[in-house]
Copies of this chain bind each other. A is one copy, B any other.
């Protein structure tokens, strides 16, 4: 009776209720950003999931994947990253089912009939008619292989494959093979590992271990080393060669062969533990459902009103989804030090994610962000420096600042508890005080000796422009934490240093605007021209102007004055003192004109993170209406729910988090405690916080015409500012806008967001 009751009417009601509340995951379309520049990972993954199994049909693509059906799949590998640029990483432990040509290690097939959803990937391998279905848990996956009737049933596990393989020994940003091994344990179990180094972050060797088990015994097998097969030889030991194993089955017609594969960065046994711990059964759909529910836990933190368009909901929830694919939770899987603290890897890169990804995680999943920050501190403690780009358990690559400091300050100002902020300050001070020596491209602050001696990084160092302005903001963040924990000496030193961006501010005019961050040599002289190309034995000098991009034509990609941008972009990237930039630009009117020029003349790069905040800068001249106009125009022209719907590398969800915030009508200034308020895309957004308190953003009468905020109330009281403190959200309540079809002359006009020079 009792049991029956469990499955009776109430259960059905509960189930219905679940369906209504908890199906946001269905709005997620993993294919957004799979074409064009997005580079997103399209295979199944749990939130922050270590196991990211997916098809590889594009060796040099960052995601390993191309939608192009003309590109054959050569395997399904177990580890990927999402949205990255530069040289690829991972693509390890490549599994491939096949049916013929048993003499060849290489096996590939054109694909068709793909079916891709959150937590699920399906494809038909046309060559042999094998349908392959994949779903995953955190550290283990399950594969179903449905062969054609009467076809041979073979599966290869290839430990010699990885993304971005080239013949160039030690090629910059390329992955390099180190070693592998394989061992057949029984007629249903195989284990082994592959060890790779390099990739975009030039990381040390990392090892991906695996254990794979099968629901049917294989009847024969052949391991291989290099290009030679060794039938029935159970092991191939690591001697620096590529190895793998071919497994041959003899299942009955119509039966699918299922494989579970656990991975680990510690050992094959740990991989087996992960597999048995997470997937102790063979129920494919159960795994898929559990993964959907893990996502739903996060996605249901935000609910959107019923009037929202499917397109907007899809863009929004997919934005949340992309944000939380990385960094990857590898707690318990760190091969370098004790595993009794949280460990996250694949910060790829904090330079991209500090602005909006970390703040979005903090807003919706604060416990997670606490763990991430603690992992960063542990990385500092053990590896010597905070990470900027980190992947494969190695720090590596800094594009500009030491922006982990912004993440720490952001955690602090938003009240995240359970973080040792004294240790955090120590880590930040390490960045600010200790030049990384030969590791200037790896961690810490490159050009620090200049910065600390001259107050700016001189042209003796590459990327001296963006290094200087990023360090200045990093110093502001350092000062923020120093002040809070009552370290006055450090506070005064670094709050003063945070003005260092002014040392490169040159009062010149370009395209009708005044004042730009420009190169200066170590003697303090402005640099007017730069060496560019050598023709016929003559060195050319070309003028260096605010629109100049010296890379990659004059100098290498990493060798310009600004990383991946012009002075027009970076000169507006001073998040702690917009008021001073306005003043130096000639006041509010001149600044409004400058912003308009910036966007209208195409100096703005929608895909470049240093410009993430810029559309909001109208707020500081009392014109939040112009910010909203600009943001909506940018989104409407560049983002959509198509496969090409992300206008640049998603950069581990950075662009997606920027979009998601703006669709809610909020945008953080990371490292500071407030959000800028803009016209949302939804009439009502409910943030169901983990503290149990809901925060609602309601835009009454929002429509295509009524897109201007006329006035606002917070919990029923008048709210005239166009920015709101994080704590106001944490406290729960309702922020309600009255919308209209014209700009308001009052709302957000009189009190503008804070700047350092306000004080």
Annotate A172-194 by CB proximity to B: 1 below 8 A, 0 otherwise: 00001111010100000000010
Q: Which residues of chain B come closer than 8 Å to A15, judged between CB atoms? A: none
Q: How far is the CB of A195 from chain B (nearest CB, A)?
A: 8
Is A444 an interface residue, CB under 8 A from the partner?
Answer: yes
Is A197 an interface residue, CB under 8 A from the partner?
Answer: yes
* B338 A178 Cβ-Cβ under 8 A: yes
A339 CB contact (under 8 Å) in B239, B437, B439: B239
- In the complex, what distance in Å separates the CA atom of A238 from the CA atom of B274? 11
Most B C-beta atoms less than 10 A away, residue of A179, A197, A384: A179
Known: A193-B267, A238-B270. Is A176-B435 also a contact (CB below 8 A)?
Answer: no
Is A418 an interface residue, CB under 8 A from the partner?
Answer: no
Q: Which residues of chain B come closer than 8 Å to A435, judged between CB atoms? A: 435, 437
* A239 B332 Cβ-Cβ under 8 A: yes
Is A416 an interface residue, CB under 8 A from the partner?
Answer: no
Is A235 an interface residue, CB under 8 A from the partner?
Answer: yes
Q: Which residues of chain B come closer than 8 Å to A662, judged between CB atoms? A: none
- In the complex, what distance in Å separates the CA atom of A437 from the CA atom of B436? 4
* A204 B336 Cβ-Cβ under 8 A: yes
Is A635 an interface residue, CB under 8 A from the partner?
Answer: no
Q: Which residues of chain B come closer than 8 Å to A195, judged between CB atoms? A: 335
Is A272 an interface residue, CB under 8 A from the partner?
Answer: yes
Is A586 an interface residue, CB under 8 A from the partner?
Answer: no
Is A171 an interface residue, CB under 8 A from the partner?
Answer: no
A237 CB contact (under 8 Å) in B235, B240, B267: B267
Is A730 an interface residue, CB under 8 A from the partner?
Answer: no
- In the complex, what distance in Å separates the CA atom of A677 from the CA atom of B267? 55
Is A102 an interface residue, CB under 8 A from the partner?
Answer: no
- In the complex, what distance in Å separates the CA atom of A606 from the CA atom of B339? 45
Q: Which residues of chain B come closer than 8 Å to A183, judged between CB atoms? A: 269
* A335 B437 Cβ-Cβ under 8 A: no
Is A419 an interface residue, CB under 8 A from the partner?
Answer: no
Is A214 an interface residue, CB under 8 A from the partner?
Answer: no
Q: How far is the CB of A324 from chain B (nearest CB, A)?
A: 26
- Restricting to A239-257, which residues have a CB under 8 Å from any CB of B? 239-240
* A205 B337 Cβ-Cβ under 8 A: yes
Known: A205-B335, A205-B337, A438-B436. Is A181-B239 also a contact (CB below 8 A)?
Answer: no
- In the complex, what distance in Å separates the CA atom of A193 from the CA atom of B267? 10
Q: Which residues of chain B come closer than 8 Å to A179, judged between CB atoms? A: 266, 338-339
Q: How far is the CB of A499 from chain B (nearest CB, A)?
A: 25
Is A551 an interface residue, CB under 8 A from the partner?
Answer: no
- In the complex, what distance in Å separates the CA atom of A439 from the CA atom of B269? 35
Known: A337-B197, A430-B438, A436-B438. Is A272-B178 also a contact (CB below 8 A)?
Answer: no
Q: Which residues of chain B come closer than 8 Å to A335, judged between CB atoms? A: 195, 205, 207
* Nearest-neighbor residue (CB-CB) of A433 within chain B: B438
Most B C-beta atoms less than 10 A away, residue of A176, A239, A269, A336: A269
Is A607 an interface residue, CB under 8 A from the partner?
Answer: no
- Restricting to A256-275, which residues have a CB under 8 Å from any CB of B? 266-267, 269-270, 272-273
Annotate A316-355 by CB proximity to B: 1 below 8 A, 0 otherwise: 0000000000000000100111111000000000000000
Most B C-beta atoms less than 10 A away, residue of A183, A267, A336: A267
- In the complex, what distance in Å separates the CA atom of A586 from the CA atom of B371? 66
* A267 B181 Cβ-Cβ under 8 A: yes
Q: Which residues of chain B come closer than 8 Å to A439, judged between CB atoms? A: 384, 437
Is A434 an interface residue, CB under 8 A from the partner?
Answer: yes
Known: A337-B205, A434-B437. Is A267-B240 also a contact (CB below 8 A)?
Answer: no
Q: Which residues of chain B come closer than 8 Å to A177, judged between CB atoms? A: 338
- In the complex, what distance in Å separates the CA atom of A440 from the CA atom of B188? 52
* Nearest-neighbor residue (CB-CB) of A191 within chain B: B269
- In the complex, what distance in Å separates the CA atom of A438 from the CA atom of B436? 6
Q: How far is the CB of A538 from chain B (nearest CB, A)?
A: 25
Annotate A439-467 by CB proximity to B: 1 below 8 A, 0 otherwise: 10000100001000000000000000000
Is A385 an interface residue, CB under 8 A from the partner?
Answer: yes
- In the complex, what distance in Å separates the CA atom of A273 from the CA atom of B207? 20
Q: How far is the CB of A244 from chain B (nearest CB, A)?
A: 15
Annotate A609-646 by CB proximity to B: 1 below 8 A, 0 otherwise: 00000000000000000000000000000000000000
Known: A384-B438, A385-B438. Is A178-B337 also a contact (CB below 8 A)?
Answer: yes
Q: Which residues of chain B come closer than 8 Å to A239, judged between CB atoms? A: 332, 339
- In the complex, what distance in Å separates the CA atom of A240 from the CA atom of B197? 25
* A205 B384 Cβ-Cβ under 8 A: no
Q: Which residues of chain B come closer than 8 Å to A267, judged between CB atoms? A: 181, 193, 237-238
- In the complex, what distance in Å separates the CA atom of A361 from the CA atom of B607? 59
- In the complex, what distance in Å separates the CA atom of A177 from the CA atom of B340? 12
- In the complex, what distance in Å separates the CA atom of A692 from the CA atom of B337? 50
Q: Which residues of chain B come closer than 8 Å to A270, judged between CB atoms? A: 181, 237-238
* Nearest-neighbor residue (CB-CB) of A332 within chain B: B239
* B444 A438 Cβ-Cβ under 8 A: yes
Q: Which residues of chain B come closer than 8 Å to A272, judged between CB atoms? A: 237
- In the complex, what distance in Å separates the CA atom of A267 from the CA atom of B269? 12
Q: How far is the CB of A290 from chain B (nearest CB, A)?
A: 22
* Nearest-neighbor residue (CB-CB) of A434 within chain B: B438
Other than A178-B337, A179-B266, A240-B338, give 17 A-B pairs with Cβ distance below 8 A: A176-B338, A179-B339, A181-B270, A183-B269, A197-B336, A204-B336, A207-B335, A237-B273, A238-B266, A238-B269, A238-B270, A240-B340, A384-B438, A430-B438, A434-B438, A437-B438, A437-B439
Can you identify 29 A-B contacts, CB atoms within 8 angstroms? A178-B336, A178-B338, A179-B266, A179-B338, A179-B339, A181-B267, A181-B269, A181-B270, A193-B267, A197-B337, A205-B335, A205-B336, A235-B269, A237-B267, A237-B269, A238-B269, A239-B332, A240-B332, A240-B339, A240-B340, A385-B438, A430-B438, A435-B435, A435-B437, A437-B437, A437-B438, A437-B439, A437-B444, A449-B449
6 closest cross-chain pairs (CB), A and B: A437-B437, A434-B438, A436-B437, A240-B339, A237-B273, A237-B269
